[in-house]
Amino acid sequence: MSPVATDISARTTARTSAETLSEEDVALLRQDFPALAEIVNGEPLAYLDSGATAQRPRQVLGAERDFLIHSNAAVHRGAHTLAGLATEAYEDARATVADFVGAQADEIVWTSNATDALNLVAYGIANASHGRGGEPARRFALVAGDEIVVTEAEHHANLVPWQELAAVTGATLRYIPVDDNGVWDAAAAASVITSRTRVVAFAHVSNVTGFVAPVAEVVAVAHANGALVVLDACQSAPHRSLNLAELDVDFAAFSGHKMLGPTGIGVLYGRAELLNALPPFRTGGSMITTVTMEGADYLPAPQRFEAGTQPVSQAVALAEAVRYLQRVGLDRIEAREEELAERMLMGLAGIDGIRVVGQPLGSPRAGLVSFDVAGVHAHDVGQFLDAQGIAVRVGHHCAQPLHRRLGLTATTRASAYLYTTTGEVDRFIAAVAGVRPYFGVA
């Protein structure tokens, strides 16, 4: 454990889990993140783009570096000492991440990112629909007349794979509509899910509006109709306590790089009986038991889905990121981010020409805010803020249908994390206030 993390843990043991991070806590945490000390365009970096990619603490960088120096080897393949050490680290990382999300180790599959994880499920179902996987896989098979349900707010990674699955199976893709704020509710979901629904896929937290989905209610309706539930947890796993078994979802996906970990690794959670019945769609070495010139037999999950060279050092680093988040406390991170989101919303509400998407101030929201500046394109907004050292995300955030429904082509998004200060939020608000005057549209 790092000195900084130890200090925070020692000073906060008496706090309840729901308490927030203080400014003092955040100042200590920031010492672990080298990137936050950067100067951008002559100004201290205010990094408000963690919803896209989070910065990494020294502990995570060091864990991957130490593995590569001392234990780097192919896993599950060699009989030598280094291979044994690498395999142990790799599987220990799986167990650590499994515990983090309330799963068993054999319910965690390493993927290259969350997009890959969602595709794994969609293409596995497509293979089952074409007769692959034998009798156990028939539970997944889709035919014409079956329905796949998503929401109008989905990230493309949780939309396009299901469009492809519908196209190759003859199933119908339906969607839960959003309202004028870009959000939806359990009643809207219940009106779309029917006895023909076989898959319901939706984001736990919207990457555009910060809307937190009513998971329990949707799962209940979906399962009552015999449908599988696939949860996109990319914007929830890094920011709030997550127990996938208690949520009772069938599959879930999240990415390492959004939760203080490296790029190149994602996680697929699946209930063990489902993973062992789902046909793989990526095949090759490391996932087989027997291969002849006529065919192959596959290992049980999770190895059956991990063909080829595995992301070993990335898994080790992701496990260290998980341990870091656990030391800080997910409940405290969530509370802190809600405070920062409210501060952003209140500040933006006082600026003429700003339209914030999502639920209004006072409604539950994750720690991100997307907005439109009247008369100024989002890319120009982003460049104006960048000139002042403030990093935000601009564009459609891989959610074109949602933006189209809201009558927008793009928005600017500011997203907070455990290392975001109130001072950075205030800098951001002050800078946004100067956008329209600078471009002459105030």
State whether 284 and 185 are in the same domain: yes
What mean pLDDT value characterizes the chain? 95
Closest residue by Cα to residue 405 from 133, 101, 179, 77: 179
Residue 4 pLDDT level (bands cut at 50, 70, 90) = very low
Looking at the structure, tell me whether residues 335 and 320 fall in a common domain.
no
Cβ-based neighbours of 209, under 8 Å, separated by 6 or more: 153, 181, 182, 183, 357, 358, 359, 365, 370, 402
- Reply yes or no on whether the pLDDT at 18 is more than 60: no
Task: Give catalytic residues, as residue numbers.
Answer: 398
Residue 362: pLDDT band (50, 70, 90) is confident
C-alpha to C-alpha distances, 297 to 133, 233, 284, 291, 378, nearest whole angstrom? 10, 31, 11, 7, 51
Question: Which domain-ending residue is among 326, 356, 383?
Answer: 326
**pLDDT score of 442:** 79
Whether residue 359 sits in one domain with residue 290: no
Place of tokens 């596995």: 124
Q: Is the dihedral of CA 42, 377, 51, 123 positive or negative?
A: negative
Q: Is residue 59 part of a domain?
A: no
Residues 178 and 88 grouped into a single domain: yes
- Model confidence at 361, pLDDT cuts 50, 70, 90, reads confident
Give me the pLDDT at residue 173, please: 98
Q: 267 in a domain, yes or no?
A: yes
Domain boundary among 326, 360, 394: 326
Q: How far apart are CA 366 and CA 338, in angstroms?
A: 6
Question: pLDDT tens-digit profile of 398-442?
Answer: 999 999 999 999 999 999 999 999 999 999 999 999 999 999 997
The encoded tokens of residue 352 equal: 């003429």
Summarize pLDDT for 61-111 with one digit per residue, the tens.
999 999 999 999 999 988 899 999 999 999 999 999 999 999 999 999 999
Residue 55 covered by a domain: no
Same domain? For 94 and 218 the reply is yes
In a domain, 290, yes or no: yes
Q: What is the CATH number of the domain that holds 338?
A: 3.90.1150.10
Instruction: Mark whether 424 and 309 lie in a shared domain.
Output: no
- Asked if residue 202 and residue 184 are part of one domain, the reply reads yes
Q: Does the reported pTM lie above 0.75? A: yes
DSSP for residue 243: -
Q: Which residue in this structure is represented by tokens 């994880």?
A: 117
Q: Is residue 58 part of a domain?
A: no
CATH number at residue 248: 3.40.640.10
Instruction: Characterize 140-153 residue by residue with b for buried, 16 or more Cβ atoms within 10 angstroms of its Cβ, and e for exposed.
Output: bbbeeebbbbbbbb
152 lies in the same domain as 252: yes
Distances (CA, A) of 138 to 250, 274, 279: 16, 11, 10
Domain termination site, one of 296, 326, 356: 326
Same domain flag for 277 and 399: no
Measure Cα distances from 157 to 280, 385, 397 in Å: 19, 28, 11
The residues, ordered by sequence, that sit 6+ positions from 362 with a Cβ below 8 Å of its Cβ are: none
Instruction: Please tell me the total count of domains within the chain.
Output: 2
Distance CA 134, CA 394 (A): 46
The residues pairing with 201 across neighbouring beta strands, listed in sequence order, are 230
Looking at the fold, whether 321 and 336 belong to one and the same domain comes out as: no
Q: Are residues 100 and 209 in the same domain?
A: yes
- pLDDT at position 12 over 90: no
Q: Are 356 and 368 a contacting pair, CB within 8 Å?
A: no
- Classified as helix, coil or strand, 117 is helix
Residues 10 and 95 both lie in one domain: no
DSSP class of residue 18 equals T
DSSP three-state, residue 349: helix
Instruction: Tell me whether residue 57 is in a domain.
Output: no
The answer to whether residue 53 is domain-embedded is no
Q: pLDDT at position 77, please? A: 83
| Domain that includes residue 408, residue range | 3-48+329-439
Asked whether residue 56 is assigned to any structural domain, the reply reads no
Reference 228, options 311, 152, 130, 122; nearest CA is: 122
Percent of the chain with pLDDT over 70: 96
For 222-358, strand residue ranges (E) read 228-232, 251-255, 266-270, 288-291, 296-298, 354-356
Q: What are phi and psi of 262, to 5 degrees?
A: -80, 165
